[in-house]
Amino acid sequence: MTSATAFAWPPYSFSDHPSQDGRCVGDNGGGDLDRSEKACLEQVGELAQRVGPGLQLKFRNGKTRIYLNEETKCESNDADGCVKYQLTGYFPEHDLILIEVDYWEGASWLLVRANTGEDAEIVAPPHYSPDRRWLASVASGEGPSGPPNGMDVVPTIPNSSIKEWHYRTPDDGQWLYEFAGWEGNTRVKLLASSLRAPQRSIPTSIERRNGEWHLREPR
């Protein structure tokens, strides 16, 4: 993966600012892809366990779900349908589980509510807002390797009146976006890098207005 700032990315990361939020106790990694399932399994206790090729979650409502690795497909020559699941994060304050979903080329993540099993697909390990009411993730890169290009803002507490927000960069998109931090609780700062020549990088943001999140597309 390459971008205007790729040279500065920490190891095992898709951005210059990999999130440390939700990293499990005892996990000493620093990037997006070096989070420790072992540390997370020890922290969450009965919520999750590794059963052979499956990651089994037992939700607080009594239901169980198994995320099953397709190991045979991953070992085949074409690897079509290859997928592996890892428990890579836990947010105890809001009882949220983070699952890394690995493909032959690329990865995505699931943010799962331990109470009900409801989940949201996100593009990278997320960052807490200052008031911890929101989690935001941003990822982008050139080529097929890496997470989906896009961004997500998910409320930490479920509320029918507060909606998740998801954006996926179109195939003909001309910008790569990177997370640059929260500014208050209603603005996610971004750095947008152009794919067209002459290459340039400009600041922009995701902002919450009238109860909805909006991307300020660069001009």
Q: Is the peptide bond before 198 cis (omega within 30 degrees of 0)?
A: yes
| Nearest Cα residue to 71 out of 54, 48, 50 | 54
Q: Quick one: DSSP state of residue 62?
A: S
Q: Given this model, what pLDDT does residue 53 score?
A: 93
CA–CA distances in Å: residue 49 to residues 57, 67, 79? 7, 11, 26
Q: What does pLDDT average to in each consecutive run of 10 residues of the chain (219 residues)?
A: 46 84 96 95 97 96 96 75 94 98 89 97 97 95 71 94 93 91 98 88 96 92
Question: Whole-structure pTM over 0.85, yes or no?
Answer: yes
Here the tokens at position 145 are 């390797």
Contact 64, 57 (CB under 8 A): yes
